[in-house]
Every structure is written in structure tokens, then in C-alpha cells.
């Protein structure tokens, strides 16, 4: 039985009266890579932020996020600061806003080492240089003294990864880390990410809307829609035999690279993703689902063994 790195129980995030994330529960197996798939309005970013208690004050989170026996949602800010950057790390989509524009790269990577490992400035700089070389930034010694705007998009992302992995965190959350990058750079960064987490034994939670990315990098996948988990399982199971109509529809909507499809028309999902607070009560997907019936007015529970789906009419 693999160890569990993080347990999320009944996580609900509210924006005012509206629940953007509703009763989400899942576990992250230690050392494994899990993908969290969702489009806009799915609640994926809010879930990620809630895990690290980084939600803005206007939002409230309830439920439990259990790491090493501690419920992170109950910890005070000091305790959380000790954990963030050290045991729990996060990287974001847009490195240009995630990196401090007036601080040199080397200094930014060194910061977590100084804060959490108590290294001296010199020792931290040396460790930062090693980290930048490790993330394969060319001319790392020079780049140490560069500012973020002097680096390319891919290099900035590498720098952010270096910062996040500097203290060898137990859990790394990556929120759309490659969405803003060119496809060749994306491939390199995903590769790097996989190698690094394996090397450090970290648990990865990769958040994205891009299904093929999850298929390439992750072992397990969680599908989020309208604040609910609608499907969950191994990548193989979920992608080759999806049980939830939404997952099936997403897969069908992606044009195939290798084979010829009979027509240029794709299987599209009708309607658009509702805005916050505009999902229908009950199953959030029911107004776009070909299999919906009146029972879908009540939200189904996640059911299954290993490969779970929340649907009254799951695919066989």
C-alpha cells in the first residue's frame, strides 16, 4: 500500500455565497504524479491555492487538507510559512508575474534556501547555482545575475522550478506550468519536471486543461468540472475507458494527430462552460450532457473502486 502524501477531505471554497469548489476529496499518493484536469470555472486553481492556504481573504475554505497528520487549513500563518517553499511548493503559469522583476534570478532561487535551510548568503548562492544548472539553464553562472525579463519564457519557467525544488519539497503543485510556452519548450519543461520530481521523490500535482499533457506526464488523473470531481483514476483507465460523459466528450473533442478522421468535423460539446454561480444544481454537467435525465438534478457521489466516477449514467 503506497504511502499517502496528502489527503484532501471535503474541500469547499466559497466566493461569497457561491461554492466554486464543492466537497472535493482525493488523495495524493507519495512520489506519484497526479494530474488535475479542468477548464475555466472548474475550480482547479482555487483547489491548488486552497491546499497551500494561499486563497485571497475574500474567499473561504472549509474541509481538511491533511499533510503528515496536520490539517493545513487549521494552521496559523507562521506554521504555514515554514512549510511553504520547504515541504510544499508551487509553480505557476506565468513566470513573468510569479518572479520578482527587480530581483536577480540567483537571489530568488537562493531565497528559500536561506529561509528554510538557514544557509548563509554565500552558501545559498552556491546552492542556487547548482540548482540552476540542474534545471538545465544554459550559462547558469551568468544567468544568476540576470533579471527575469532578460530570460526567455522557457528559462523563466526553469528558474521558477529551480526555486520550487530548491528545498526538495515533499509536494509540488504545478498550475498550468507550460500553457504559455511554445510546444518544443513545453516538451522540455515537462520532461524536466518529471525527472526532477522522480529524483527528489516529490509528489506532483499537475493542474492543466490539456489532456495530452496529463497523459504524458502523470500516472493518475482527477477530472474537475463545475467545482466537483467527476472522474478519477489511473491515466490508463480514465483515458482509455472513461466512465463520465464529460471526460469522454473532452477526449472526443481533441483532433487526433495520427489517424485520419472521416470528416473534418469534431465531436463538439454543446453550450459553453457556465460562469461562476451559473452551473445548474445537481450535476454541473447535466445541461450539456447527452445522457442527462431528471435524476441528474441531484449530484451523484463518486463511486467506484480505484477508477471512480460521479454519474448516474456512467459509460459502460
Partner 1 sequence: MTGIAFSVDHVSRHFVLPRSTLFGARRTLTAVDDVTFDLQREETLGIVGESGSGKTTLVKLLLGLERPDGGSIAYHGASLRRDVQVVFQDPASALDPRMRVEDIILEPLRVLRISGDHRARVRELMSAVGLPLSSVSHYPHEFSGGQRQRIAIARALAPHPRVLIGDEPVSALDVSVRAQILNLLEDLRVGFQLTLVLVSHDLSVVRHMTDRVLVMQRGRVVEEGETRSVFRRPQHPYTQLLLDSIPRLPQASRR
Of the pair 78, 265, the CB lying nearest partner 1 is at 265
Sheet of 303-305: strand order equals: 88-91, 171-175, 203-208, 33-37, 220-225, 228-234, 307-309, 303-305
Of the pair 18, 254, the CB lying nearest partner 1 is at 254
Near partner 1 by CB under 8 A: residue from 55, 131, 162, 235: 235
Annotate each residue in 22-61 with x if it binds partner 1 (CB under 8 A) or - if it does not, as one string. Answer: -----------------xx---------------------
Near partner 1 by CB under 8 A: residue from 210, 280, 291, 299: 210
Record the cell numbers describing residue 193, joined without a space. Answer: 519536471
Site membership for partner 1, residue 249 (CB under 8 A)? yes
CA distances from 164 to 47, 103, 310, 316 (A): 19, 16, 34, 41
Work out the number of other CB atoms within 10 angstroms of the CB of residue 31.
17
Distance CA 160, CA 180 (A): 14
User: From the CB of 57, what's the least distance to partner 1, in Å?
Assistant: 26
Region near partner 1 per CB under 8 A, out of 7-15, 60-68, 73-81, 262-270: 262-270
Near partner 1 by CB under 8 A: residue from 206, 250, 292, 309: 250
Site membership for partner 1, residue 69 (CB under 8 A)? no
Helical residues (DSSP H) of the chain, grouped into ranges: 44-51, 77-83, 95-98, 105-117, 121-134, 140-143, 153-165, 183-200, 211-217, 235-240, 245-252
Report the interface residues with partner 1, using CB under 8 A: 39-40, 153, 182-188, 190, 209-213, 215-217, 235-236, 239-242, 249-261, 264-270, 272-273, 275, 288
Amino acid at each position: 500500500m503506497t504511502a499517502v502524501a496528502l489527503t484532501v477531505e471535503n474541500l469547499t471554497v466559497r466566493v461569497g455565497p457561491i461554492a466554486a469548489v464543492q466537497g472535493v476529496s482525493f488523495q495524493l499518493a507519495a512520489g506519484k504524479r497526479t494530474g488535475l484536469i479542468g477548464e475555466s470555472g472548474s475550480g482547479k486553481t482555487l483547489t491548488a491555492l486552497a491546499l497551500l492556504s494561499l486563497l485571497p481573504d475574500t474567499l473561504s475554505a472549509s474541509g481538511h487538507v491533511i499533510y503528515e497528520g496536520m490539517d493545513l487549513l487549521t494552521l496559523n500563518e507562521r506554521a504555514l510559512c515554514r512549510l511553504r517553499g520547504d515541504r510544499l511548493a508551487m509553480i505557476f503559469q506565468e513566470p513573468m508575474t510569479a518572479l520578482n522583476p527587480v530581483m536577480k534570478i540567483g537571489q530568488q532561487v537562493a531565497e528559500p534556501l536561506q529561509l528554510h535551510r538557514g544557509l548563509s548568503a554565500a552558501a545559498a548562492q552556491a546552492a542556487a547555482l547548482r540548482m540552476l544548472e540542474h534545471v538545465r539553464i544554459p550559462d547558469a553562472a551568468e544567468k544568476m545575475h540576470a533579471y527575469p525579463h532578460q530570460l526567455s519564457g522557457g528559462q523563466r519557467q526553469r528558474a521558477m522550478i529551480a526555486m520550487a525544488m530548491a528545498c526538495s519539497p515533499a509536494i509540488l503543485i504545478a498550475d498550468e506550468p507550460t500553457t504559455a510556452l511554445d510546444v518544443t519548450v513545453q516538451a522540455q519543461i515537462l520532461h524536466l519536471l518529471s525527472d526532477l520530481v522522480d529524483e527528489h521523490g516529490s509528489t506532483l500535482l499537475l493542474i492543466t486543461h490539456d489532456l495530452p499533457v496529463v497523459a504524458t506526464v502523470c500516472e493518475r488523473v482527477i477530472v474537475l468540472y463545475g467545482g466537483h470531481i467527476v472522474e478519477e483514476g489511473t491515466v490508463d483507465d480514465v483515458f482509455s475507458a472513461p466512465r463520465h460523459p464529460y471526460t469522454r466528450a473532452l477526449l472526443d473533442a481533441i483532433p487526433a494527430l495520427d489517424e485520419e478522421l472521416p470528416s473534418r468535423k469534431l465531436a463538439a460539446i454543446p453550450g459553453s462552460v457556465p460562469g461562476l454561480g451559473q452551473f445548474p444544481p445537481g450535476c454541473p454537467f447535466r445541461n450539456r450532457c447527452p445522457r442527462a435525465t431528471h435524476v441528474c438534478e441531484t449530484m451523484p457521489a463518486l463511486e467506484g473502486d480505484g477508477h471512480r466516477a460521479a454519474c448516474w449514467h456512467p459509460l459502460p
